[in-house]
Structure formats: C-alpha cells, structure tokens
Copies of this chain bind each other. A is one copy, B any other.
Amino acid sequence: MGVSMKDVARMAGVSTATVSHVLNETRHVNGDTREKVLQAIRALNYNVNPIARTLRSGHSHMIGLVISDLTNLFYMDIALSIDKVLNPEGYHLIYINSDEDPAKERDNIESLLMQNVDGLIIAPTGKDCSYMQDLIGDRCPAVFFDRKPGDFPGDCILTENFDGAYGGTELLLSRGYRNIGFIGSSFTETMDERARGYRKALLDYAVEADDKLILFGSGRPLRLSEQKVGDSFKLTETLVRDRKADALFCGNALAAVGAVSYIKENRLRIPEDIALVCFDDMFWLSMSDPPLTAVDQDRLEIGRTAATVMLDRIRGNGEPFREYRIPTKLIPRSSC
C-alpha cells in the first residue's frame, strides 16, 4: 500500500541496500548517489517502516516505561521529563500502568519485551524485583526510579530522602516546634530513609526522638486518588488528639491527605493547632487552606537522569551499575 524502500530504490536507480545505507549512514555512499536517493525519498514522501526495521534489526527505538500508577501526577511528570530527553534522540516511550499490582507489572514487562523494547524504565510496585531477573535477563538495559529494585542489577534513580526529610524537619525545629510527629502511609525503604533524616534533625537540635510519635501505615501502596482510604487518617488522630504533637512531618502526599482530612474534620487550625510539612509537592497542596509547606522532589531532574542513564546503557556503557540521588527542594508555605 504505502511507499517502500523498493520504490525509492527503483526511482533512484540503485539497490535497496544502498537506500538503507544512506538512511542509516551505515556505510559510505558517493555524494551524487546519496543525493539521488535523498531526492527520491523526498519525491515519494517515503518513511521507513518501523515495524519491518524492528523485525530485522532487533531493536525498536522504543523504551518501555512501566509505572505503578499512571494517575499519580508525580510519575507522569517524571514520564514527560524522560520523554523530553529521549524523543529528540529518536526514542519513543511506551507508557504502561501496573496499577500497583505485581502480577500486572510482570505481564507488562513481558509484553514490552515481546515488542522488542530497547530498554525498560521502571517504577517498581514492590521491593521484590528478583523475578525481573529471569524475565529481563540481558535482553535490554533496565533503569529504576523512585523505589529500589531489591538486588536487581540495574541503575537506580532516587531522591535524597534523608536530606529532604532532614531539611523539612529542621524547618519545623527552627520555628520552635518540639513535639514533631512523623507519619508515613506505609513502611518502605524510602519511608525509612525519610524517617532517618527526620530523626537526625531532631538529634542535631538536641530534641529527643519519641518513638510513639513515629507511625507508619500498614497497607500496600495505595493510589493517591483513592485518598482517605489509607491509615494516615487514623495515624493523625493518634498523634494529634490530646495535643501530643504540635507539628507533623508527613512522609508522603498520601499521608498528607489523611492528615489534612483529619485536621479539617476536627476543625483544627493549621499551623496554630498543628503545623504541617509534607514530603512531595502536589500542585493541589498549594490550593489547600493554608497552602502546605513541602519538600519537593525534583521530578524534572529525576526524569532527565533516568533518560540519560538509559541512553548511556543503550549505547553500550558497561560501567558498574550506580545509584543516583537527586536533591530535593524545600518549598516554605504557610503551614508552619
């Protein structure tokens, strides 16, 4: 139906091999021959058929982006940032949603591999990524972000959780709060790093950390848009009732949603009754009343790094796998 290389070859009076070599610059072609080919390409408005190319060459110029929750704006921002780097290099992204379900994640990866993706960028649903080993093997490079992939051999882009939490807690301390609670929606390595940053800040301010003020939800990771379903509502109650805490460090946005819900329902004032700082900045946190102080992860940079590392790997960088840490930015608003 469409125009194929054969048509171009015929029109230019050369073989398809030459056309291919002109297109891919994979061997020298004389100036005038090349010109004839290029003209024929323009004249016929020819485009290479990516499917045929993939079938033969084994690589697709596609990168699979396996994300645990596409409705989470945090991930989508990172995805777009990745795209911004990869697109100009001729790579296309295939977004795919795991819905926080390891089984789907597995299917997704399998399906992407069958489509011959040149690489996988993954925000894993769980910490156990051992099964990916068998699946991916050395079929293509894998780059992880947001959560550590257990002991899977691949690069990993993470946020400076420790420093970020340290900074947020420090802000609360510098404003005079001394009974600072910490809530995380669930206990993960990421959350633990943040808790450690929080603890260190207390230590440096000579405030004794009270383990009763550090609480984690128990559930599996939840979709943000399901909100309130998590435990953070109750955790907040535990910390805030009876004025046990005068400030709260929320380990992630989900925790913040729970905290704010509780606080509003009980008509408490922020920051007079309880001050808040939240790890993660979602744009609607700024719409909340009052707007919340946040420790913002640098999605742009996380995405850029993931993309760059991926390009390196595709191009054959054989150095040992690394862990990259992206600094956070503290965004002071009026909740503390």
Mark A residues whose CB is within 8 Å of B. Answer: 47, 49-52, 54-55, 60, 70-71, 73, 76-77, 79-80, 83, 92, 94-95, 97, 111, 114-116, 225, 227, 257, 260-261, 264, 282-284, 287-289
Docked-complex contact B283 and A227, CB < 8 angstroms: yes
Return 6 A-B CB contacts under 8 Å, by A number.
A49-B114, A51-B54, A55-B55, A94-B94, A284-B287, A287-B287
**Contact flag A51-B55 (CB < 8 Å), given A73-B225, A76-B71, A289-B289:** yes
Q: A283 CA to B257 CA in the complex, in Å?
A: 11
Closest to A225 in B: B283
Q: Which residue of B lies closest to A52 (CB)?
A: B55
A187 to B73, CA, bound (A): 27
Cβ–Cβ < 8 Å partners of A73 in chain B:
71, 73, 225
In the complex, what residues of B have CB within 8 A of residue A47's CB? 114
> Which chain B residues border A83 with CB–CB below 8 Å?
97
Q: How far does the alpha carbon of A51 sit from the alpha carbon of B80 in the complex, in Å?
A: 26
A40 CB to closest chain B CB, in angstroms? 19
**Cα-based distance from A334 to B272 in the complex (angstroms):** 24
A115-B225 in contact (CB<8A): no
Which residues of chain B are near A77, meaning CB under 8 Å? 71
Q: A284 — which chain B residues lie within 8 A by C-beta?
A: 282, 284, 287
Complex CA gap A284/B285 in Å reads: 9
In the complex, chain B residues whose CB is within 8 Å of the CB of A282: 284
Q: Are A50 and B114 in contact (CB under 8 A)?
A: yes
Most chain-B CB neighbours within 10 Å: which of A49, A95, A97?
Answer: A95
| CB nearest to A260 among chain B residues | B287
Q: Judging by beta carbons under 8 Å apart, are A115 and B283 in contact?
A: no
